[in-house]
Amino acid sequence: MDSQPAAARALADAADADATILVADDDRNAREHLAALLRSQGYQVEVCEDGQEALSRVTMGGIDLVLLDAVMPRLSGSDTCRLLKSLSGTTFLPVMFVTSRSDPASRVEGLRLGADDYLGKPFDNEELLARVDALLRIKRLVATVAEERDRLQRRTVHDELTGLPNRRLFEMRLVEERKRAERYHEPFACLVLSIVVGNGARDLIAGGNAERVVTRAAAAMKRSVREGDVVARIASTTLAAILTHTHFAGTLSASERIFRDVSGAIADPAVVIGIGASLFPSRDARTAESLLLAAQSALDECWERGGGQICILQQRKYLYTPGTAPRSERPPPSTRAIASEPPPSVRRGPSEPPPSVRRGPSEPPLRSESTAPRDNGDRKG
């Protein structure tokens, strides 16, 4: 019955044995005695002669516990303790006074300065070691609690499966990007991608491994966008992205790349994806919430027409059926506008050639690959 507690104590002892303790005392004999005693217990020990030197060493990092004399040249133990506590911030660095000033007033003063323990000289070796062990144990517990807190905080805004931001964080970032874009008069796009698994899904989906599809899709989508863009998982099989500094043509180019890369990563014809995107600025999407709703509306249009398409909403909805071959080897994408006019980025004047957007299913495309939308002019950065 005692095996588990004993094992836990053994692990704790091993962790404490790796601890580095800094001894600051201007008395050479006292300093060497403390160092030898602590090293005999397996601790790593560093020594210094005054508070200034101790402060410099702690700022370099790697110190787990500081033992201070109260009276030292250049910088006293009291001043050193106060500075150490102010510099440690949220990290717990235990400090113990080991000093000949052992009267009650000195003890109270040291503890009020932030010291975690106070031991007068001369001291009993076993008592000092017990106090050192207690402080290191407290430091270890504080570190464990901090790690768990950070983990829980991360889970509130990140998806556990993919590690991407979740819907909550995505919506926060979308609000921030809309404010930034409005302030600096810059465009951006909100993109939503969803995955549908058909009945014929093979090994990748078999055995309830749909999470593998989402994980692969998330990784591929993250690789497909720029470093400054945001990719998130906002539902079980739905990913979303914020494409900064992006016009209509850049949104189409990025959407095609994401479509191609995600399809290649999943590599199963039974898994179908669809992409919907909305653009800012737009008279129909003036807020972050309406931008996301508009992108989801465009995505719904894709699925109403069977999926496997890209739908971009900018005043009107424009459907694109991307190819799966590399861009240099495939014909220009089939484009159909569900509207009476092309998007602003491809709108033509009276003397310009016919538009690149095909208006009806029976009309052939009127542009070559060289006139297809590119993101080198509209999608900056």
Which CA distances in Å does 218 have to 107, 159, 195, 234, 236?
58, 11, 11, 11, 11
pLDDT at 333 over 60: no
pLDDT at 210 over 60: yes
- Among residues 371, 182, 185, 343, the alpha carbon closest in space to that of 277 is found at 343
Q: What average pLDDT does the chain have?
A: 81
Tell me the domains of the chain and their CATH numbers. 3-157 (3.40.50.2300), 167-378 (3.30.70.270)
Choose between 322 and 367: higher pLDDT: 322
Quote the CA–CA distance of 322 and 35 in Å, as a whole number.
71
> Do you know the residue count of the chain?
381
What pLDDT is stored for residue 257 in this prediction? 96
What does the pLDDT look like over 4-49, one tens digit per residue? 444 444 444 555 668 999 999 999 999 999 999 999 999 999 999 9
What is the percentage of the chain residues whose pLDDT exceeds 70?
77
Quote the CA–CA distance of 178 and 170 in Å, as a whole number.
12
Quote the CA–CA distance of 294 and 192 in Å, as a whole number.
10
> Tell me, what DSSP letter sits at residue 50?
S
Mean pLDDT of 136-159: 90
pTM of the full structure = 0.58
Mean pLDDT of 342-357: 40
**Ramachandran angles phi, psi of 51, nearest 5°:** -65, -35
What does the pLDDT look like over 61-101, one tens digit per residue? 999 999 999 989 889 999 999 999 998 777 899 999 999 98
Which of 144-153, 198-207, 286-295, 326-335 is predicted with the least confidence, judged by mean pLDDT?
A: 326-335
Q: How confident is the model at residue 315 (pLDDT cuts 50, 70, 90)?
A: confident
Query: Which residues of the chain form beta strands (DSSP E)?
Result: 20-24, 44-48, 65-68, 95-99, 117-120, 188-197, 230-235, 238-244, 271-280, 310-314, 316-321, 334-338
Query: Which residues of 180-309 form beta strands (DSSP E)?
Result: 188-197, 230-235, 238-244, 271-280
Which of 8-22, 167-181, 253-267, 309-323 is predicted with the least confidence, judged by mean pLDDT?
A: 8-22
pLDDT at 331 over 60: no
> Tell me, what DSSP letter sits at residue 345?
G
Quote the CA–CA distance of 66 and 47 in Å, as a whole number.
10
Which CA distances in Å does 113 have to 12, 194, 347?
29, 58, 71
- Among residues 141, 8, 130, 118, the alpha carbon closest in space to that of 69 is found at 118
Mean pLDDT of 169-189: 95
What pLDDT is stored for residue 350 in this prediction? 41
What pLDDT is stored for residue 112 in this prediction? 93
Residue partners of 168: CB distance under 8 A and separation at least 6: 156, 157
pLDDT at 360 over 80: no
Q: How confident is the model at residue 200 (pLDDT cuts 50, 70, 90)?
A: very low
* Contact of 220 with 261, CB cutoff 8 Å: yes
* Contact of 277 with 313, CB cutoff 8 Å: yes
Q: Compute the Cα dihedral for 119, 125, 131, 133 and give only its sign.
A: positive
Query: Counting beta carbons within 10 angstroms of the beta carbon of residue 370, is it exposed (0 to 12), middle (13 to 18) or buried (19 or more)?
Result: exposed
pLDDT at 263 over 70: yes
